[in-house]
């Protein structure tokens, strides 16, 4: 008996000893590393803050779930100068505030894990995007490589190869098709949006529209009838499958982190239904992509066989790169690389568009004055012409120079779908320099650089607050929202499309443009990033969103649903209350995982324009 106790206490002592040694070694390593990195930071001559953890390191990723609630319960003055730099998912919510507090638009965060440069200075953004020596921290982006390497999850010659193969697809011809398809899809969406309670599914409906448009244009797969079914939640599920194409893709996007981190055999054996569903989404989407590829390999699209390369879709380009021919015995891309890009485009090509569309609809519901102005512009430009005669060549550029373009740009400014854009000084490479206010600052290898789009787009110097010009009466006052800290970062109150329309002459904040439409200073408006790793689908996205917004709002308006129980003489109060709730959904209820999205439901309704409720 005593012998057993002795053995147990000996093993306990051993475990404790190992634990203490581990903690001590980690502590010692942290202190030595921190001293080393502080010295390194001094050589850059940039201002810096010292953090206990590295934002991107494994210790913080594991510890934050326990540490953050504890630290957040401390008095704010103790944490506000450092905690915001560790809360990746709150970068959007914090906007420019942390930079303002530090009184610097570019600084380093130093931790035992290394150096991270934070910037919202347009000039520094431009250097990071345009200087090809800065790389991509691919480990951070490798989440997207779940089926094979992707453009986004790779760097250097490999990502350049993928861009070279897929880039030609984004031609004017493609944009023409995007416009027409988006108008047609938007009409189907409108039928769904006027259903009672459609607001509960606003994001799902938008994501399904956007995925269908993408799939029709990029892969010549799916039809408008598939969209009708998908928006009625009566998706077609082929024999042998348990999920439809959109269910599999959207289901996978929700659980991408789990699929990336946990071996799939564990998920299959897990007692949790959500884990088994995650792996089902993964394998069924894989099977949809393989079938799509094989079907096209058997019957290449007419366009590609007739050699009219400008009409080829993206799938043709990928399949050609993955095939051997007389000239090239070894294909340029392997099967895994082809599938990797198919997945990347399915994901990157629809998720952000859907999220932007949702934010535009909700912003317009909160800003009826802006909506009126936009609709007057739509009437002026499109008159009574039927929407199936609208076209990219006739209408797109003209629409983008009116309130339609202003609304889209302003939504992209405030709802930055990707709140930080990561770059890096390559490990094992040479030091790189950035110039801040004329001073050179050398950055050592391994430095991660985060261009903070949310802070850049709220920088008071480049995006000053202006007197409200589109709104009337009490609705033009936003003090109820601005005075409530839960409404940070006040995106609804700050929404001011008119700033894009009446741009004066070029000054420090702008560039000279050919029209009066605002052309922000380089690096100050970066929703699509730019340079060699900028968004390949920028124009695709803009054309799609423009066509959808024009179609929805030419015939219909969106309104906030006000509490039916309000007194008849308190209509205005009830509307302001509804706006407060909507603004809260567009602030506190906005979350960032794979991209920024409004996660809360907002009661809205679409009504025909000739039947609008009195405002």
Q: Report whether 192 contacts 208 (CB < 8 A).
A: no
Kindly state the smallest distance separating residue 163's Cβ from ligand HEM, in Å. Answer: 6
Among 199-207, 373-381, 424-432, 530-538, the segment contacting ligand HEM (CB under 6 A)? 530-538
The yes or no reply on residue 448 touching ligand HEM (CB under 6 A) is no
Q: Report whether 492 contacts 602 (CB < 8 A).
A: no
The yes or no reply on residue 169 touching ligand HEM (CB under 6 A) is no
Residue 298 in marked binding region: no
Nearer to ligand HEM, 165 or 352 (CB): 352
Nearer to ligand HEM, 313 or 496 (CB): 313
Residues in the chain: 615
**Alpha-carbon span 445 to 111, nearest angstrom:** 15
Among 22-30, 67-75, 100-108, 521-529, the segment contacting ligand HEM (CB under 6 A)? 521-529
- Preceding peptide of 51 cis, ω within 30°: no
For residue 190 the two structure tokens come to 């409108």
Among 8-16, 151-159, 511-519, 576-584, the segment contacting ligand HEM (CB under 6 A)? 151-159
The yes or no reply on residue 339 touching ligand HEM (CB under 6 A) is no
The upper half-sphere exposure of residue 603, i.e. CA atoms within 13 Å in the direction of its Cβ, equals: 11
Among 112-120, 344-352, 504-512, 606-614, the segment contacting ligand HEM (CB under 6 A)? 344-352
Q: Which of 78, 81, 75, 22 is nearest to 51 (CA)?
A: 81
The yes or no reply on residue 348 touching ligand HEM (CB under 6 A) is yes
Count of residues touching ligand HEM (by CB under 6 A): 23
For residue 238 the two structure tokens come to 């082929």
Give the per-residue contact string, 407-436, with ligand HEM (x = CB under 6 A; - = no): ----------xx--x---------------
Q: Which of 417, 424, 493, 482 is nearest to 454 (CA)?
A: 417
The yes or no reply on residue 536 touching ligand HEM (CB under 6 A) is yes
**Alpha-carbon span 285 to 148, nearest angstrom:** 13
For residue 289 the two structure tokens come to 């992509």
Q: Which of 391, 457, 488 is nearest to 172 (CA)?
A: 391
Residue 151's φ and ψ, nearest 5 degrees, are: -55, -50
For residue 609 the two structure tokens come to 């324009």
Nearer to ligand HEM, 146 or 348 (CB): 348
Burial group, residue 394, by CB count within 10 angstroms (0-12, 13-18, 19+): middle
Kindly state the smallest distance separating residue 150's Cβ from ligand HEM, in Å. Answer: 8
The yes or no reply on residue 92 touching ligand HEM (CB under 6 A) is no
Nearer to ligand HEM, 434 or 535 (CB): 535
**Alpha-carbon span 93 to 118, nearest angstrom:** 16
The yes or no reply on residue 152 touching ligand HEM (CB under 6 A) is yes
The secondary structure of residue 85, as a DSSP letter, is G
Work out which of 282, 343, 345, 525 binds ligand HEM, going by CB under 6 A: 345
**Alpha-carbon span 287 to 504, nearest angstrom:** 54
Strand 48-50 relative to strand 420-424: parallel, antiparallel, unpaired? unpaired
Kindly state the smallest distance separating residue 459's Cβ from ligand HEM, in Å. Answer: 17
The yes or no reply on residue 528 touching ligand HEM (CB under 6 A) is yes
Work out which of 44, 94, 125, 159 binds ligand HEM, going by CB under 6 A: 159
Residues that constitute the known binding site? 535
Interface contacts to ligand HEM, rule CB under 6 A: 151-152, 159, 163, 344-345, 348-349, 352-353, 356, 417-418, 421, 527-529, 533, 535-537, 540-541
Residues that constitute the known binding site for heme? 535
């Amino acid at each position: 008996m005593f012998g057993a106790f002795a053995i147990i206490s000996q093993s306990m002592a051993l475990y404790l000893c190992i634990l203490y040694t581990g903690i001590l070694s980690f502590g010692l390593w942290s202190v030595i590393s921190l001293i080393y990195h502080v010295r390194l930071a001094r050589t850059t001559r940039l201002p810096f803050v010292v953090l206990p953890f590295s934002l991107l390191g494994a210790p913080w990723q594991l510890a934050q779930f326990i540490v953050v609630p504890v630290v957040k319960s401390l008095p704010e003055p103790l944490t506000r100068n450092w905690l915001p730099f560790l809360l990746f998912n709150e970068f959007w919510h914090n906007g420019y505030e942390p930079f303002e507090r530090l009184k610097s638009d570019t600084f380093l965060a130093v931790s035992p894990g290394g150096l991270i440069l934070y910037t919202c200075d347009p000039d520094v953004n431009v250097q990071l995007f345009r200087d090809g020596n800065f790389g991509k921290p691919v480990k951070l982006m490798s989440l997207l490589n779940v089926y094979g390497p992707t453009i986004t999850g790779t760097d250097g010659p490999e990502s350049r190869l993928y861009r070279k193969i897929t880039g030609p697809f984004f031609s004017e011809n493609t944009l023409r098709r995007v416009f027409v398809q988006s108008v047609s899809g938007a009409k189907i969406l409108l039928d769904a949006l006027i259903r009672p309670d459609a607001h509960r599914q606003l994001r799902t409906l938008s994501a399904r529209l956007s995925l269908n448009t993408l799939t029709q244009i990029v892969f010549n797969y799916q039809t408008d009838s598939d969209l009708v079914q998908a928006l009625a939640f009566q998706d077609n599920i082929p024999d042998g499958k348990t999920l439809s194409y959109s269910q599999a893709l959207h289901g996978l996007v929700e659980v991408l982190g789990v699929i990336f981190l946990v071996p799939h055999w564990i998920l299959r054996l897990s007692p949790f239904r959500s884990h088994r569903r995650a792996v089902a989404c993964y394998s069924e989407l894989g099977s949809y992509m393989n079938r799509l590829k094989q079907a096209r390999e058997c019957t290449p699209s007419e366009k590609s066989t007739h050699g009219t390369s400008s009409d080829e879709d993206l799938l043709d380009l990928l399949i050609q790169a993955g095939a051997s021919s007389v000239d090239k015995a070894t294909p340029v891309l392997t099967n895994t690389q082809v599938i990797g890009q198919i997945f990347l485009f399915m994901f990157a090509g629809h998720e952000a568009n859907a999220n932007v569309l949702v934010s535009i609809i909700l912003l317009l519901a909160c800003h009826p004055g802006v909506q009126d102005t936009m609709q007057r512009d739509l009437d002026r430009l499109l008159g009574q012409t039927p929407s199936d005669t609208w076209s990219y060549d006739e209408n797109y550029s003209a629409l983008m120079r009116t309130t339609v373009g202003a609304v889209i740009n302003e939504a992209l400014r405030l709802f930055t779908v990707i709140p930080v854009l990561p770059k890096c000084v390559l490990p094992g490479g040479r030091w790189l320099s950035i110039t801040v206010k004329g001073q050179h600052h050398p950055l050592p290898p391994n430095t991660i650089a985060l261009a903070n789009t949310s802070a850049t787009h709220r920088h008071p110097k480049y995006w000053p607050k202006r007197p409200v010009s589109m709104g009337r009466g009490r609705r033009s006052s936003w003090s109820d929202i601005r005075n409530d800290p839960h409404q940070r970062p006040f995106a609804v109150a700050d929404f001011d499309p008119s700033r894009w329309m009446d741009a004066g002459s070029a000054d420090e904040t702008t560039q000279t443009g050919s029209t009066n439409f605002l052309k922000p200073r380089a690096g100050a408006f970066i929703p699509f990033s730019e340079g060699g790793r900028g968004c390949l689908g920028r124009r695709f996205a803009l054309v799609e969103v423009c066509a959808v917004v024009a179609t929805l709002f030419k015939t219909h308006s969106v309104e906030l649903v006000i509490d039916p129980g309000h007194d008849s003489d308190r209509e205005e109060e009830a509307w302001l209350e509804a706006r407060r709730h909507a603004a809260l959904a567009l602030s506190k209820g906005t979350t960032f995982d794979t991209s920024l999205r409004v996660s809360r439901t907002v009661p809205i309704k679409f009504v025909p324009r000739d039947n609008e409720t009195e405002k």
